[in-house]
Amino acid sequence: MEVKAIKTSIFKENENLVDFIVRHIPKLKNNSVLVVTSKIVALSEGRTAIIKNSKTKEEFIKKESDFAVKTKYVWLTIKDGAVMASAGIDESNANGKLILLPKDSYKTADLLRKVLLKRYKIKNLGIIITDSRTIPLRTGIVGMAVGYAGFKGLKDYRKSKDIFGRKFHFSRVDVADSLATSAVLEMGEGNEQKPLAIIENTSIEFCDKVNKKELYIDPKEDMYRPLFAKLPKK
């Protein structure tokens, strides 16, 4: 697998996203995956807000979340079926504003794919819209796919056999977030100015429609819930 982040000009609020992508990536090979940071998708949609004070930010976080609880460092939230800090609302590289997550990242990914398939004149194309997230009990951030299109986001090993003939009962691979993490590593989180990336030579399965619920787990069924429920309070 090959991952290449693309250095670009600064994306401006309400700028045309497709034109921006094509301008910086004139050609794209068939069977590629195009990765786009959620920040420029949100800017293209005008999903920004002016920061007045800390209360204003808290109001936006609660409004954007399905669940929100204040912790020592950030608001821990659930949004679009994923756990993230502050509902994905970001102040970095925002020029004094809050940048929210895109309104519907799966829908945007699907629309981008349809338009870019025609622009690049290719048959297969994956689209991933990324954000960053933390992982419980790990320092640092990794990438995540807040929306994707054009490929199956989950690889299921259940009922297949390992190298010794033993059947898998639970193993599934989160393809979408794995690809997102590899791209975010190259794109960076600071002043790299690389909001786009191209992934080539992957073993993913391309498709026309994705199940946007395939990665979702009901919080009541999450395997980590009992662990955190029993942790001693400090």
Tens digit of pLDDT at every position of the chain (234 positions): 999 999 999 999 999 999 999 999 999 999 999 999 999 999 999 999 887 777 888 888 888 888 888 888 888 888 888 888 888 888 777 777 889 999 999 999 999 999 999 999 999 999 999 999 888 888 999 999 999 999 999 987 777 777 767 776 667 889 999 999 999 999 998 889 999 999 999 999 999 999 989 999 888 888 887 877 665 554
Is the Cβ–Cβ distance between 160 and 168 less than 8 Å? yes
Give the distance, in angstroms, between the CA of residue 155 and the centroid of all CA atoms in the same chain. 18
CA distance 144 to 82: 10
pLDDT given at position 233: 53
Token pair recorded at residue 229: 């429920």
Q: What is the pTM of this model?
A: 0.91
pLDDT given at position 230: 63
User: In this structure, which amino acid lies at residue 80?
Assistant: D
Token pair recorded at residue 83: 């756990």
Phi, then psi, of 146 in degrees rounded to 5: -85, -10
- Architecture of the domain made up of 1-45+102-212: 2-Layer Sandwich (3.30)
Q: CA-CA distances (angstroms) from residue 143 to 39, 97, 147? A: 13, 22, 12
pLDDT given at position 211: 92
Q: CA-CA distances (angstroms) from residue 73 to 21, 69, 84? A: 35, 11, 13
Q: Are strands 32-37 and 125-134 parallel, antiparallel or unpaired?
A: parallel
Q: In what order do the strands lie in the sheet with 75-79?
A: 67-70, 75-79, 82-85
Contacts 24+ apart (CB under 8 A), 55-58: 57/86, 57/89, 57/98
How is the chain split into domains, by residue range? 1-45+102-212, 48-100
Closest CA to 30 of 123, 114, 150: 123
Q: Which spans in the chain are helix H?
A: 17-24, 38-44, 54-64, 105-120, 175-187, 225-229
- H helices then E strands: how many in the chain? 6, 12
Token pair recorded at residue 185: 């590593």
Q: CA-CA distances (angstroms) from residue 194 to 38, 216, 218, 224, 226? A: 12, 29, 34, 34, 39
